[in-house]
């Protein structure tokens, strides 16, 4: 396995761009493949996860290629025109790619076999397969509804109204994509709004989507409805920088004294910016400049300066807006003044790893005091650098790998991370980009 060491570093300085948004990259390829005609996608994340999704869509009949100027061309087949794949669809480490593609094939009249790497094959799929079965798909899986599994799509799929047991944009999106192949309206009810890239892009490609907020049992919930069997038309997509990736750079700049970093062209979808809201509550100096809208998505440049952070409490209802960013946010909490409590983190337990335990155990190894309490995490801030000196196993999780490399930059002693090859799934070039800003991150075999 690849191993990197992050050593105590001076201030970070410079202007950079992070790779394209992973969520939007997946969806642009999928909807481009379902539309009849040619879709051009610019700024796509060329990480392993998105490449796995592209490979699965090619196996289903779509023609997808990268041009010399870095754009991606998707020649879609039209809704309902995909063909039975001649081999197993291997989604690698991509939970998003696997779950969304399951939604796509759930209403296609053929059988598809899904697999992934060791990490993906441990992740639960019942939250997606249960509603897809209700829509008519036949699914056979290993115990615990894990990959590998087989899906035989229904020729006469049934639209459903489904209330998400827990907030999940992946599950919502899988159901909405399956709903495209049904006659009638398919509705997902969310107890808490989750990222809405799918809804925005469905409209862009010509589908009719209704979104409304309503009160039920004294609580607000969101209804998202897609009208089935639309004629999807190609649409150009410009993918903004991934806010989840930008969060790693932002936290690194905040906790290294004297830092000032400008991160250009970051997606600022309101359902993705919870981490920046939380950091600013902690006293972070983060400015949003050049705010604009490009296509369906809000975008801004972030200017981040090193700051003295103070502890806060992050409410459970904010979790859907920053679920992927809690790991790096916990590092900021460990260096802040006071005790930070984060609630509503159950979803972290079923990511590429059990991220809740991985964060807690890794921070303890670096010298922080951390407590897990059900789906909550409490971090006692040191008000300064972590002791560090730890050797962290990333457990095939790209975000955990990056989290503890950032932690090592602001520690008294270097932190070594095993399994850093997984970083390529979401942030190819992470280490070299950080080094360009002034960080000390070195391969252990060099």
Q: What is the pTM of this model?
A: 0.93
Q: Which two tokens stand for residue 80?
A: 């309902």
Is the domain of 167 the same as that of 266?
no
- Residue 318: which domain range? 3-20+240-443
Per-residue burial over 188-224, b if 16 or more Cβ lie within 10 Å, else e, is: bbbbbbbbbbbbbbbebbbbebeeeeeeeeeeebbbb
**What 3-state DSSP class applies to 429?**
coil
Q: Going residue by residue through the chain, which has 446 residues, state the pLDDT in tens, using 9 for 90 and above.
A: 789 999 999 999 999 999 999 999 999 999 999 999 999 999 999 999 999 999 999 999 999 999 999 999 999 999 999 999 999 999 999 999 999 999 999 999 999 999 999 989 998 899 999 999 999 999 999 998 999 999 999 988 999 999 999 889 999 999 999 999 999 999 999 999 999 999 999 999 999 999 999 988 778 899 999 999 999 999 999 999 999 999 999 999 999 999 999 999 999 999 999 999 999 999 999 999 999 998 789 999 999 999 999 999 999 999 999 999 999 999 999 999 999 999 999 888 877 678 999 999 999 999 999 999 889 999 999 999 999 999 999 988 999 999 999 999 999 999 999 999 999 989 999 999 999 999 999 998 64
Residues 399, 378 contacting (CB under 8 angstroms): no
Is the domain of 41 the same as that of 116?
yes
Of 213, 238, 263, which closes a domain? 238
Please give the sequence-ordered ranges of beta strands (E in DSSP) within 78-120, or none if there are none. Answer: 89-90, 111-115
Strands 376-382 and 391-393: what pairing?
Answer: unpaired
Residue 97 confidence (pLDDT)? 97
Is the domain of 15 the same as that of 83?
no
Is the domain of 260 the same as that of 392?
yes
Of 238, 264, 288, which closes a domain? 238
Is the domain of 273 the same as that of 372?
yes
Is the domain of 166 the same as that of 213?
yes
Active-site entry in 90, 117, 324, 393: 324
Is the domain of 211 the same as that of 337?
no
* Residue 310 half-sphere exposure toward CB, CA atoms < 13 A: 2
Is the domain of 324 the same as that of 425?
yes
Is the domain of 255 the same as that of 335?
yes
Our answer to whether residue 324 is catalytic in this structure is: yes
């Amino acid at each position: 396995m690849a191993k990197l060491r992050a050593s105590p570093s001076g201030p970070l300085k410079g202007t950079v761009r992070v790779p394209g948004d992973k969520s939007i990259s997946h969806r642009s390829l999928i909807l481009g493949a379902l539309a009849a005609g040619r879709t051009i996608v610019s700024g796509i994340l060329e990480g392993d996860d998105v490449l796995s999704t592209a490979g699965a869509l090619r196996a289903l009949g779509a023609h997808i290629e990268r041009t010399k100027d870095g754009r991606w061309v998707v020649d879609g087949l039209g809704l309902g025109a995909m063909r039975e794949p001649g081999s197993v669809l291997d989604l690698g480490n991509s939970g998003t790619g696997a779950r969304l593609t399951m939604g796509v094939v759930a209403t296609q009249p053929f059988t598809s076999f899904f697999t992934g790497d060791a990490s993906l094959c441990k992740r639960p799929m019942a939250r997606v397969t249960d509603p897809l079965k209700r829509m008519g798909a036949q699914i056979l899986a290993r115990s615990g509804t894990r990959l590998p599994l087989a899906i035989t799509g229904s020729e006469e799929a049934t639209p459903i109204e489904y209330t998400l047991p827990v907030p999940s944009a992946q599950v919502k999106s899988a159901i909405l994509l399956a709903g495209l192949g049904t006659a009638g309206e398919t509705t997902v009810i969310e107890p808490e709004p989750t990222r809405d890239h799918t809804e925005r892009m469905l409209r862009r490609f010509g589908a009719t989507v209704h979104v409304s907020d309503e009160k039920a049992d004294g609580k607000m919930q969101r209804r998202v409805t897609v009208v089935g069997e639309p004629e999807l038309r190609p649409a150009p997509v410009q993918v903004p920088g991934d806010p989840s990736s930008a969060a790693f750079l932002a936290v690194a700049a905040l906790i290294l004294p004297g830092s000032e970093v400008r991160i250009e062209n970051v997606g600022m979808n309101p359902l993705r910016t919870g981490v920046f809201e939380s950091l600013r509550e902690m006293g972070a100096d983060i400015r949003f400049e050049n705010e604009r809208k490009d296509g369906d998505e809000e975008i801004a440049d972030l200017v981040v300066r090193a700051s003295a952070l103070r502890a806060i409490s992050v409410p459970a209802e904010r979790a859907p807006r920053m679920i992927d960013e809690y790991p790096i946010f916990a590092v900021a909490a460990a260096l802040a003044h006071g005790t930070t409590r984060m609630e509503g983190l159950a979803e972290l337990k079923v990511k590429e790893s059990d991220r809740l335990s991985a964060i807690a155990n890794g921070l303890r190894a670096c010298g922080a005091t951390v407590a897990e309490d059900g789906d909550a995490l409490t971090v006692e801030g040191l008000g300064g650098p972590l002791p560090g000196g730890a050797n962290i196993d990333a457990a095939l999780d790209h975000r955990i790998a990056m989290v503890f490399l950032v932690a090592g930059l602001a520690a008294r002693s270097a932190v070594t991370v095993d399994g850093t090859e997984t970083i390529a799934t979401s942030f190819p070039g992470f280490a070299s980009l950080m080094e360009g800003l002034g960080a000390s991150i070195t391969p252990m075999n060099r």
